[in-house]
Amino acid sequence: MKVKLDVASLKEGMFVSDLDCDWAQTSFLLEGVLISDDEELAELNRCCAHVYVDTERSHDSVLSELESLASRPPSAVATAAKQQAEQEAEREEQDFQETLQEARPVHSRAKSYIETLMDDVRLGNSLDTATARDLVTEITESITHSPNAMVWLSHLKHRDEYTVTHCMNTCILAVTFGRYLGMNKEELELMGLGALLHDIGKMRVPLEILNKPGRLTPEEFEIIKTHASKGHELLVSRGDIPRESLDVVLHHHERISGKGYPHGLMGERVNRMTKIVSIVDVYDAITSDRCYHDGIAPYAALKNMYEWISEDFEQDLVEQFIKCLGIYPVGSMVQLNLGQIGVVVSASEKSRLRPIVLLVINSKGERYVKPKLINLAHPRWRDGKQKLEIRKILHNDECDIDLPSVIQDESLI
C-alpha cells in the first residue's frame, strides 16, 4: 500500500516510492529511496511538497504511524503536517534567539580572558588557567544546548584582533565538531581547553614577525614555528593543565604526512583530539582576515581543505567536519531565488538545505532598515507563491555586508 504524505511527515525508515516531481530533478541515483539519514530528508524537502510512501518496503518501526496516517483524510494529514512544520520552524527560530542571548556574555568573557592572558604572557606575569577551565565548561554547555549560536558568534572577528578571536573560535569549533562526533563532556572540555590555549606561545614571538603584513622569510617562519613548543613549555610549568590539553597545544600543527611541526609526527602518532583541533584551526585561519591576507568564504575553505587531505588531514575527519558544518555553513553569504541577500545564522539538522537566514539586502538591492530573520524551513517560505530558497553562495567580496557589525548589533537578532 502507498500512502501520500507531506514531506514534513517523513521519517527515517520510510520507503519513498514516488514523488510529486521527476526523480531526475533530485540527487538520488535510483527511483525509490529508503530514508536513512538527515541528508536524504533534506533533499526530499528541497524537491518536493508531497511524496508516496510504500508501507510494504518501509521499516517495521514506522508502520503503525503510516497506518494511522493512511486512515486519516488526505486534507487532515496535510494540515497536521503543515502545522507541525510551522511549529518546529518557529521553535527553531526562538531557540536560536534565546540561546544567542545566553551565549553572548560567555563569548564576551572568553574574549576578555584571552586578551588578559595574552598580556600576562607578554609581561611574564602568572597565568590564570582556572578561569580558562570555567570558560570552556560554559562554552561546552552552550554548544551542547545549541551549537549554532556560538558558531554564529565565532564570525565576530576583526583583522587587528586575530590571535585573540582565533583562540576562541578554535575552541568553539572544536567543541562543536567534537559534539557532532559524539564525544562526551569530559573529552569536549579537555579538547576545548587545549584549543582555547593552543596559540598562547605566539605571545613569545616578536610582534614584528607575528604581525608582519608580507611573506615571512624562511628564518622568520622558523621563529613562528616555535610558538607550539613555547606555549607547551609555559603551560607545563603551571602543572595544572591535563596531558590531553597539553598535547593539543604542542602538536596542533602536526600533519598526517609528517610534514608538520614541531616533531614531524605521522598518521596515528597524532592523537584524535589534536587532529580535530588541527582541522578547525586551519578552517578558522583561512576564513579570517589577517594582517597578510583576506579570509575566504566558509564553503571555499571546506573545498580547499578537502583537496589538502592527502597531505594534511585524515580523510574521514574532514568529511565529518564538512557534514557537521552543513551544506551552507553558518556565516555563509547567500542570495535567494527572489534576489534577497543574507547570512546563514543557523542550520537545522532536519533541513540542511533550508537554514535560518538573516536577510540584510532586499530583492531591489536595498538594505533593510532592520534585517529580517527567516527560517526557510517554515511552510510559508517553503511552499506556494512566497517560496524562497537559496540560489547561490556568494564570495565575501560579492556583497557589501560587514558581518562583524551585524553580529555585534544585539538589536538585529
Domain edges within the chain? 2-71, 101-325, 333-408
φ, ψ for residue 375, nearest 5 deg: -95, 110
Task: Report, as an integer, the average pLDDT of 173-196.
Answer: 97
pLDDT digits (tens, 9 = 90+) for 230-273: 999 999 998 899 999 999 999 999 999 999 999 999 989 999 99
Q: How far apart are CA 108 and CA 103, in angstroms?
A: 9
Q: What is the DSSP string of 12-52?
A: TT-EEEEESS-GGGSS-SSS-EE--SHHHHHHHHHH-SEEE
pLDDT digits (tens, 9 = 90+) for 201-212: 999 999 899 888
Q: How far apart are CA 374 and CA 354, in angstroms?
A: 10
Secondary structure (3-state) at 6: strand
Higher pLDDT, 382 or 365: 365
Instruction: Give the pLDDT score at 73.
Output: 62
Q: Does the pLDDT at position 185 exceed 60? A: yes
What sections of 22-128 are H helices per DSSP? 38-47, 63-70, 74-123
What sections of 239-373 are H helices per DSSP? 243-251, 272-286, 298-307, 309-312, 315-325
C-alpha cell recorded at residue 305? 581543505
C-alpha cell recorded at residue 362? 532586499
Instruction: Give the pLDDT score at 9.
Output: 81
pLDDT digits (tens, 9 = 90+) for 140-156: 999 998 889 999 999 98
**Beta carbons within 10 angstroms of residue 350's beta carbon:** 18
Residue 76 pLDDT class (50, 70, 90 cuts):
low
State the sign of the Cα–Cα–Cα–Cα dihedral 54, 56, 62, 66. positive
129 within 8 A of 235, measured Cβ to Cβ: yes
Cell 543574507 belongs to which residue? 342
- Closest residue by Cα to residue 42 from 89, 7, 69: 7
Q: CA-based angle 107:113:119, to the nearest 5? A: 140
C-alpha cell recorded at residue 294? 583576506
Burial 19-42 (b: 16+ CB within 10 A, else e): beeeeeebebeeeebebeebbbbb
φ, ψ for residue 140, nearest 5 deg: -60, -45
Indicate the average pLDDT of the chain: 89
Instruction: Give the pLDDT score at 42.
Output: 79
Instruction: Give the pLDDT score at 385.
Output: 66
**Domain 101-325 - what CATH class?**
mainly alpha
Length of the chain: 413
What's the predicted TM-score (pTM) here? 0.81
Instruction: Give the pLDDT score at 169.
Output: 96
C-alpha cell recorded at residue 133? 577551565
